[in-house]
Structures are given as structure tokens and as C-alpha cells.
């Protein structure tokens, strides 16, 4: 009797109906405005949402957005919880060992420091950066004391309450925080990484080709530039 129940349960688990259309699940962090964030309706929004939806349309794919912690965003991609990463992730050799990237859809970025006031010693001070980012790697090399946080927002909080002397991150993420005047840009911008691309599983070559083709098309007809200007202002580097 017990065996029957168990095998029925197992069958039910194994036999859910297969639907015809396949869906591409787009993974993002949802905490890195204006690249990606969760808007007041609880939906994923931002540059990457707009771009991703357009790419899916051009590649004739049905896409669904899901959010995942930055820390575990690559492990959950390779174990198949979602199929792509669009989370402001720079293309680096280290990441390329684990996952594949499409061509960049955002040119190689400049990273900047922001701090409450000028005169921060960026070589020896305490610099906050988000864990597992190229900026964190860079700070560790400069000899400054690196203070890591799980989200970009926490790095801002750290510099505001004096825990850190400055934050180091992507320019377009940091600039909005300087708007109210409490924080300002210090030091020189640093060029890091090979641009931002969409991350995919290494085994997913067909999907990668589709998105690569769509990005190329958007670069050629100028629609990618339009999106870049819409989200990052007219000073942004364009294709």
C-alpha cells in the first residue's frame, strides 16, 4: 500500500504536461539601478530590462525575468535555474572560465570613486565595493583597504555612515547618488573590464548565437545607442 502511494506520488511528479513553447528565463540582480532594479510595481525595470525585451523580440523568443542574489548568480545559471544573466556583468577572463558571454551590449565601462568630500587617499584609505565585482578586484590590487558588501546599495550606505572613505563602482551606477550633493566624484576614472555582456551557460551555444545576432542588429540600426542615451544620458560612450 505504502509503495503504491509512493510510486503514484513519484509518477505525478514525473508526468506534468509538456507545453509546446519554450521560454527563456532571464536572470538579473534587480538591485543595480539604472542597469536593473525592481520598480515600485515590483517588476524588473531599467536599461537591461528594456534591452533584454527588445533582444527577445528580435530573436523571436518568449522571455521571463527572474531575480537572483548577485553572490550566487553564476552558480544558479550553470545549474539551470535560469538561462541568461543580464546584470551589468562585465566580461572578464575569470568569468569566461565558468560561463560564456555574448558580445558586449554596453561599451567597456569607466569606474569612479565617490566620497563625501575631496582629499580621500584612494591608495591607502578604506574603499567599499560590491563582492565579486571587477571593482572589488581592482581595489584589492591598489593596496587600499577593501570593504566588501553583498549589494551596491550597502556600499553607498557604508560611505554615508563613515564606515568607508569612498565607494568604487560603475560610473553610471554611482552618478545618481551624487545628485543630492551629499556625495561627489573624487579621483580619476578607471577603465576596467571588457564591456558588459549577457552571460550564458557554455553548453547553450545556439541561444548565444541568437542573442549575438540580435545585439549586432541593434548596434547596426542604432537602436542600442538610443537605449544607452535614454538611461545613461547623452555623455555615454556609444557604438
Partner 1 sequence: MFSYCADPASLDRLHWFACYLTTAKQMMFYQSFLVVIVLMLITAPIALAAGLAGALAGRSHVLPLRWIGWAYANIVRGVPDIAFFLFVPIALDQGIEYLRLKVKCPDWTEPVRQGNDFVVCAAAKMPLNSAPQYVHELYGIALAIAAYTFVFGAFGANVLSGAMRAVPHAQLETAEAYGMTRGQITRRILLPQMWVYALPGLSNLWMILIKATPLLFLLGVEDVVYWARELGGSKTSAYTYAHPDWRLWYFLVLLVFYLLLTRVSEIAFARLSRRLSRGQATAAGMKEARA
DSSP per-residue letters across 125-166? SEEEEETTSHHHHHHHHHTSEEEEESSHHHHHHHHHTTSSSE
Strand ranges across the sheet with 100-106: 62-67, 23-28, 84-85, 196-200, 100-106
Least CB distance to partner 1 at residue 165 (A):
18
Least CB distance to partner 1 at residue 220 (A):
28
Closer to partner 1 by CB, 140 or 150: give it.
150
Least CB distance to partner 1 at residue 143 (A):
29
Closer to partner 1 by CB, 43 or 237: give it.
43
- Strand 23-28 and strand 62-67: the pairing is parallel
Closer to partner 1 by CB, 174 or 218: give it.
174
Least CB distance to partner 1 at residue 77 (A):
9
Q: If we measure between CA atoms, which residue out of 102, 105, 106, 107 comes closest to residue 212?
A: 102
Q: If we measure between CA atoms, which residue out of 24, 32, 117, 19 comes closest to residue 63?
A: 24
Least CB distance to partner 1 at residue 201 (A):
5
Closer to partner 1 by CB, 6 or 23: give it.
23
Site for partner 1, rule CB under 8 A: 10, 13-16, 18-19, 21-25, 30-31, 33-34, 37-43, 46, 62, 64, 66-69, 72, 76, 78-81, 83, 98-99, 151, 153-154, 156-157, 160, 176-177, 179, 201-203
Closer to partner 1 by CB, 72 or 237: give it.
72
Closer to partner 1 by CB, 31 or 51: give it.
31
User: Residues with Cβ < 8 Å from 203, sequence gap 6 or more?
Assistant: none
Q: CA-to-CA distance for 15 and 17, rounded, in angstroms?
A: 6
Question: Within 13 Å of residue 210, how many CA atoms lie on the same side as its CB?
Answer: 17
Q: What are phi and psi of 123, to 5 degrees?
A: -90, -25
Least CB distance to partner 1 at residue 211 (A):
16
Specify whether the CB–CB gap between 27 and 73 falls below 8 A.
yes
Q: If we measure between CA atoms, which residue out of 152, 147, 144 comes closest to residue 176?
A: 152
Amino acid at each position: 500500500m505504502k509503495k503504491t502511494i509512493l510510486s503514484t506520488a513519484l509518477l505525478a511528479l514525473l508526468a506534468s504536461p509538456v507545453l509546446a513553447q519554450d521560454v527563456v528565463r532571464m536572470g538579473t540582480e534587480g538591485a543595480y539601478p539604472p542597469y536593473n532594479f525592481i520598480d515600485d510595481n515590483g517588476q524588473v525595470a531599467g536599461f537591461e530590462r528594456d534591452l533584454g525585451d527588445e533582444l527577445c523580440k528580435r530573436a523571436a523568443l518568449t522571455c521571463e525575468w527572474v531575480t537572483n542574489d548577485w553572490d550566487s548568480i553564476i552558480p544558479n545559471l550553470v545549474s539551470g535555474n535560469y538561462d541568461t544573466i543580464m546584470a551589468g556583468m562585465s566580461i572578464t577572463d575569470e568569468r569566461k572560465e565558468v560561463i560564456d558571454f555574448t558580445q558586449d551590449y554596453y561599451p567597456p565601462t569607466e569606474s569612479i570613486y565617490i566620497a563625501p568630500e575631496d582629499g580621500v587617499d584612494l591608495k591607502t584609505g578604506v574603499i567599499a565595493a560590491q563582492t565579486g565585482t571587477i571593482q572589488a578586484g581592482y581595489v584589492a590590487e591598489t593596496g587600499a583597504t577593501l570593504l566588501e558588501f553583498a549589494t551596491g546599495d550597502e556600499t553607498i550606505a557604508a560611505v554615508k555612515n563613515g564606515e568607508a572613505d569612498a565607494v568604487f563602482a560603475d560610473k553610471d551606477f554611482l552618478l545618481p547618488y551624487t545628485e543630492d550633493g551629499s556625495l561627489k566624484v573624487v579621483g580619476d576614472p578607471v577603465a576596467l573590464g571588457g564591456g558588459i555582456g549577457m552571460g550564458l551557460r557554455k553548453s547553450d551555444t545556439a541561444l548565444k548565437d541568437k542573442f549575438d545576432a540580435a545585439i549586432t542588429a541593434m548596434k547596426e540600426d542604432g537602436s542600442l545607442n538610443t537605449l544607452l542615451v535614454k538611461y545613461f544620458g547623452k555623455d555615454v560612450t556609444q557604438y
